[in-house]
Amino acid sequence: MKFLKFNSPHFLFAVSLVSAFLAISVVYFAFLNNRPEIITVEKSNVIQNPNQPLKNEVTSEYKQNTLPLNIEIYDFKTDKDTYGSDENIEISLVVSSQDEFKNAVILISGIKPSQRAYINEVVNLDINPGENPVIVNSQTPFCTKGCGGVYPGPYDIKAEILIDGSLITHSFITINLIDD
């Protein structure tokens, strides 16, 4: 093995690269093992892991809903079922409640092909007894041809109601993006 010299610059460079890769791998796997679990919220509003807060793009964390509230989201819809790129989207819903709640927050998010949701709207609302209509205007992504990871197809839009930082209820609808 005459060609392999342990003090050659090429060998030392290769050892440095391998060492750096191993160090990055150790840090990355340590990060993965310390991440909090993903928490899911079922239709019944029961948080499956009550020891971990929910995470969201708009808020930093949720508290567990321990309030016996009778609040519902219904008539959750958009003005159309199918949208092209960079198109206005009108999202409407009705919040129904038997009681009055000051400073409720409605989070509307969706079109999330990866980590980032392209729709992120926050509505502060004083909920009155009865029906409380909410209308939000947003925009579809600039490109639906694969730019930024957004491809044609179905995407969910989620509406969540928070009171005093607690997730009270949520609802989903699905829209379709087309390549225009």
CATH homologous superfamily, domain 71-177: abc- transporter (atp binding component) like domain (2.70.50.60)
Scan for tokens 């109601």, then name that residue.
161
Three-state secondary-structure class, residue 23: helix
Element (H, E) at 16: helix 9-34
> How does pLDDT run across 115-164, given as a tens digit for each residue?
889 999 999 999 999 999 999 999 999 888 877 778 999 999 999 999 99
For residue 94, count other CB atoms closer than 10 A to its CB.
Answer: 15
pLDDT, tens digit, 9 for 90 and up, residues 81-101: 999 999 999 999 999 999 999
Span of 32-46, 98-112, 165-179 with lowest mean pLDDT: 32-46
* 146 phi-psi bin (left φ>0, alpha ψ -120 to 50, beta other): left
pTM of the model: 0.62
What span, in angstroms and rounded, lies between the C-alpha atoms of 129 and 96?
Answer: 7
